[in-house]
Structures are given as structure tokens and as C-alpha cells.
Amino acid sequence: MKIGIACDHGGFALKDFVKETLEDKGCEVVDLGTDSFASVDYPDFALKALRMLMRGECDRIILMCGTGIGMSMCANRIPGVRGSLCSDPYTAKMSRLHNDSNCLIMGGRVIGEAIAKEIVDAWLSTPFEGGRHKGRLEKIELIPSKI
């Protein structure tokens, strides 16, 4: 699986660990930055990864910022992106089973490495259940951008 990863300074500490975790599992990782603790704007880095995903240049993406909230807001603006902000492995598993998550988001200031590893493991290994959930996801895509 090819995975694009991106973060801001708040997610930077977690990014290298996530990258190693993915590589250990045999994933091809494209690291889109940021590459230091210097302050940056998370939408700039979200956009790099979101473009990659929507252009079909990777299978899934992982975004990290301080809380995960800003990255989550960016991800779920884009039709076709199913971003799941996860702080525990159960939510990560359900985000695949029921929501077919193609974008995992984590807060680098919220979770530690051990939980992040369990989240990534669950998110990578759990398939989409389909069935009744497929129609619900199709309905998300029908929500107009202005209501």
C-alpha cells in the first residue's frame, strides 16, 4: 500500500514514528513534510496530501497536527475524502469497517507512540464492511457544499 503522510509542527514529533511503523509493515511512504518543529500552517500540508490522494497517486493518507482537529477540518472539505480523527484503536477499526476511511488523522499532542501504533495497525488491517454502510457514504457525497 502506498501512503502519503503530512503534518504541521504539532504533529511533527509523531510523524517519523508513524513513518517507521508504516515502513515496517511494508508500506511505501511518501513524506510530504513538514520536517521540523518550526511553526507552519496545517492547511498547506493537508493540501499536499489531499491532492496526492485525489489524484490517485497514493492509496490512503495520514495527517497529523497538534489535536488532529485542523487537519480533520481540511480533509473533510474534499468530496471523496473520508477523514477519521482517531485517538483510540477501536475508533480506527470502526472508521474502516463502517466509514471506509481513506484518511487517518491523529493529534500528536493527544496520543503517544504506543497508541498511535495500535491505531495505525487497526486502520491498515481492517477492511470496509460495505452493505448498509455503502449507501450512507454515498449520501455524504450528496450533501451540498452550501445549504
| Residues forming the active site | 65, 98
Q: At what angle do helices 12-24 and 113-125 cross, to 10 degrees?
A: 50
Residue 88: CB minimum distance to ligand RB5, A:
18
How many residues in the chain?
147
Residue 13 in contact with ligand RB5, rule: CB under 6 A: no
Decide: 51 and 30 in contact? Cβ < 8 Å.
no
Q: Could you tell me the three cell numbers for 76?
A: 473533510
Taking alpha carbons only, the member of 57, 54, 64 closest to residue 86 is 64
Residue 10 in contact with ligand RB5, rule: CB under 6 A: yes
Residue 66: CB minimum distance to ligand RB5, A:
3
Taking alpha carbons only, the member of 53, 16, 55, 59 closest to residue 36 is 16
Q: Among residues 27 and 81, whose Cβ is nearest to ligand RB5?
A: 81
Q: At what angle do helices 89-97 and 113-125 cross, to 10 degrees?
A: 20
Residue among 6, 27, 42, 122 that touches ligand RB5 (CB under 6 A): 42
Residue 142: CB minimum distance to ligand RB5, A:
28
From the list 26-34, 67-75, 83-91, 97-105, the region that binds ligand RB5 by CB under 6 A is 67-75
Residue 111: CB minimum distance to ligand RB5, A:
13
The site for ligand RB5 (CB under 6 A) is made up of: 8, 10, 42, 65-67, 69-70
